[in-house]
């Protein structure tokens, strides 16, 4: 554990060093730390969070950005706050039922760390003197609703439901801390909260002294500016793990025999520049969300035949003969789709010996979609939204990105196209 602690301190010094290099960058003064006045872990404040249990992976990524932005704002207020990355797991859509998945298995943690200091939960447990968190703050709504106008407010209130998820044992609170059974919390309080990452940072700075705090139902906190510069900075720092990027590249080159032909990522996300010149491989990509979405949105989604028709039309429009489909569909449905298509259909399925977890395979599919000549997503799917963002970051023309698959009967259901959340720098 001493070795690991040393490793953590070293990575922090590296991180501080990387901040120093960018000292000309006037927009990025927040994360700068003075190593003379800063020692680990004494004056650090650890912030961890969780999201409503039923929420899926890609909405959780969005909540992560809200929290990361809040932690940055807290640092601007002079608090040496460090974001603890919540292990992934217990997700409804992951059929392998994996828990305790580290962020490093899916994302580029050094990149996240250069937006706001971030450590894995297991590293937190190593630096913390005990696996006991100071306080759980359970965010809830105001029971009386929001009275017409939306104002930022927060107030400690009796728990409406928060205490049902925790149980007191030997004077400490027990609950779901990412499935790690030894973790406890000293205090639990419920806070009725109506506000964004800015007002949340204010609340933390003003009302709490803590060494470690666990914010439950973090999705209650809204974005201060959805689609604004800070949003995109957080999003750009959320790069995928290099291994998964490489896996997607191998698939495109090896299986699809295509070239990527997109603006390469710069070494650091901070150096990325606006561009609209990427062409992408000569294939169309579609996110074809099935399973629970069919129950939820039924007639707003295309049938299998309708899907084939739209893929064919899009391939024709862009003059390509290959299609990649990211999908959670049953194999039988994919086979049927293939029968309706004259062009070659590709799907990504990892080999068993690769030991790629469900969550990682899904990301590989997202990456492959993000490098296509054109992409069409599924209606209101956050999985699709994240692909659109990746294409914005990678410099694709807007008209190749913000599309969706339409229902068969457009005259009856319409086919409103997705909002164009264009990247801003």
Ligand X SMILES: *[C@@H]1O[C@H](CO)[C@@H](O)[C@H](O)[C@H]1NC(C)=O
Ligand Y SMILES: Nc1nc2c(ncn2[C@@H]2O[C@H](COP(=O)(O)OP(=O)(O)OP(=O)(O)O)[C@@H](O)[C@H]2O)c(=O)[nH]1
191 touches which of ligand X, ligand Y, none (CB within 5 to 8 A by kind)? Answer: ligand X
Residue number with CB closer to ligand X (114 or 154): 154
Q: Is 362 a residue that touches ligand Y (CB under 6 A)?
A: yes
Q: Exposed/middle/buried for 3, CB within 10 Å: 0-12, 13-18, 19+? A: exposed
Q: Hey, what are 191's tokens?
A: 């806070």
- Our finding on whether 383 is near ligand Y (CB under 6 A) is yes
Find the shortest distance in angstroms from Cβ 298 to ligand X: 42
| Beta strand ranges found along 124-164 (DSSP E) | 132-140, 153-157
CB of 295 to ligand Y, least distance (A): 10
Is there binding between residue 206 and ligand X (CB under 6 A)? yes
Strand order in the sheet with 281-288: 344-346, 322-327, 281-288, 372-376
Task: Pick one of 44, 49, 51, 58: the residue that binds ligand Y (CB under 6 A).
Answer: 58
Tokens (6 digits) for 202: 């204010």
Task: State the binding string over 172-191 for ligand X (x if CB under 6 A, else -).
Answer: -------------------x
**Span from 21-29, 53-61, 97-105, 413-421 in contact with ligand Y (CB under 6 A):** 53-61
**What spatial distance separates the first Cα and last Cα of the chain, rounded to whole Å?**
41
Determine the interface stretch with ligand X among 120-128, 154-162, 223-231, 401-409 (rule: CB under 6 A).
154-162
Q: Quick one: which of 387, 383, 361 has its CA closest to 96? A: 361
Out of 24, 55, 161, 258, the active site residue is 55
Strand locations in 259-321 (E): 281-288
Give the 3-state DSSP-derived string for 269-285, with helices as H, strands as E and coil as C: HHHCCCCCCCCCEEEEE
Cα radius of gyration rounded to whole Å, the chain: 23
Rounded to 10 degrees, the C-alpha dihedral 123/129/134/136 comes to 30
The span of 40-48, 109-117, 152-160, 273-281 binding ligand X (CB under 6 A) equals: 152-160
Q: Minimum distance between the CB of residue 60 and ligand X, rounded to whole angstroms?
A: 24
Residue from 260, 361, 368, 393 touching ligand Y (CB under 6 A): that is 361
Those residues whose C-beta lies under 8 Å from the C-beta of residue 171, and which sit 6 or more positions away, are none
Query: By CB under 6 A, is residue 327 in contact with ligand Y?
Result: yes
Among 29, 207, 209, 299, binds ligand X (CB under 6 A): 207
Among 25, 96, 155, 167, binds ligand X (CB under 6 A): 155
* In the complex, least distance from residue 219 CB atom to ligand Y, rounded to whole angstroms: 12
Cβ proximity to ligand Y, 110 vs 306, nearer residue: 306
Whether 395 contacts 263, CB under 8 Å: yes
Q: Least CB distance from residue 203 to ligand X, whole Å? A: 6
Q: Catalytic: 55? A: yes
| Closest CA relative to residue 86, chosen from 51, 110, 127, 117 | 51
**3-state secondary structure (DSSP) of residue 177:** coil
**Is the N-terminal amide bond of 41 cis, ω within 30° of 0?**
yes
**Which range in 94-102, 149-157, 217-225, 307-315 contacts ligand X by CB under 6 A?**
149-157
Strand 184-194 vs strand 153-157: parallel, antiparallel, or unpaired? antiparallel
Q: Does 94 sit near ligand Y (CB under 6 A)?
A: yes
Whole-number Å distance between alpha carbons of 425 and 423: 7
Place of tokens 């039923």: 54
What does the block give as tokens for 41? 């872990």
- Which partner from the list ligand X, ligand Y, none does 156 bind, CB cut-off 5 to 8 Å by kind? ligand X
For residue 345, give the DSSP letter. E
Verify binding: residue 396, ligand Y, rule CB under 6 A: no
330 makes contact with ligand X (CB under 6 A): no
Residue 326 found at the interface with ligand Y (CB under 6 A):
yes
Tokens of 218: 């973090």
Binding residues for ligand Y, total number by CB under 6 A: 19
The answer to whether residue 328 forms part of the interface with ligand Y (CB under 6 A) is yes
Q: Which is nearer to ligand Y, 91 or 183 (CB)?
A: 91
**What is the contact surface with ligand Y in residues (CB under 6 A)?**
56-59, 93-94, 287, 289, 292, 326-328, 358, 361-362, 365, 381-383
Q: Which residues are designated catalytic?
A: 55
**What is the contact surface with ligand X in residues (CB under 6 A)?**
154-156, 191, 206-207
């Amino acid at each position: 554990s001493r070795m690991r602690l040393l490793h953590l301190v070293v990575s922090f010094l590296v991180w501080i060093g990387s901040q120093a290099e960018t000292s000309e960058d006037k927009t990025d003064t927040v994360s700068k730390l003075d190593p003379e006045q800063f020692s680990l872990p004494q004056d650090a404040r650890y912030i961890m969070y969780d999201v409503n249990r039923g929420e899926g992976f890609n909405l959780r990524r969005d909540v992560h950005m809200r929290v990361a932005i809040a932690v940055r704002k807290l640092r601007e207020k002079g608090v040496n706050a460090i974001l603890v990355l919540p292990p992934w797991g217990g997700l409804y859509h992951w059929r392998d039922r994996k828990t305790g998945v580290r962020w490093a298995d899916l994302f580029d943690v050094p990149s996240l760390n250069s937006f706001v200091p971030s450590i894995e939960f297991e590293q937190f447990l190593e630096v913390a003197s005990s696996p006991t968190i100071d306080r759980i703050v359970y965010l809830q709504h105001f029971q009386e609703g929001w009275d017409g106008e939306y104002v930022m407010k927060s107030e400690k209130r009796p728990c409406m439901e928060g205490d049902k998820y925790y149980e007191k044992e030997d004077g400490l609170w027990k609950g779901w801390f990412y499935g790690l059974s030894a973790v406890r919390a000293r205090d639990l309080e419920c806070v009725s909260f109506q506000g964004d990452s800015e007002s949340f940072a204010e609340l933390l700075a003003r009302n709490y002294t803590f060494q470690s705090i666990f914010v439950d139902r973090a999705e209650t906190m809204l974005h201060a500016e959805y689609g604004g510069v800070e949003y995109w900075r957080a999003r750009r720092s959320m790069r995928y793990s290099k291994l998964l990027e490489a896996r997607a590249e191998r698939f495109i080159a090896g299986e699809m025999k295509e070239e990527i032909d997109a603006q390469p990522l710069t070494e650091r996300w901070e150096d990325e520049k606006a561009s609209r010149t990427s062409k992408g491989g000569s294939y169309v990509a579609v996110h074809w969300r099935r399973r629970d979405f069919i129950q939820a949105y039924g007639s707003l989604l295309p049938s299998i035949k309708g899907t084939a028709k739209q893929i064919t039309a899009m391939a024709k429009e862009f003059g390509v003969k290959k299609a990649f489909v990211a999908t959670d569909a049953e194999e039988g449905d994919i086979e049927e789709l293939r029968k309706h298509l004259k062009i070659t259909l590709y799907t990504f399925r990892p080999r068993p010996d690769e030991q790629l977890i469900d969550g990682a395979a899904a990301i590989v599919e997202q990456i492959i979609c993000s490098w296509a000549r054109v992409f069409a997503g599924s209606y209101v799917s956050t999985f699709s939204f994240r692909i659109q963002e990746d294409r914005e970051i990678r410099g694709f023309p807007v008209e190749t990105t913000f599309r969706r698959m339409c229902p068969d009967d457009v005259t009856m259901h319409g086919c409103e196209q997705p909002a164009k959340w264009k990247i801003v720098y």
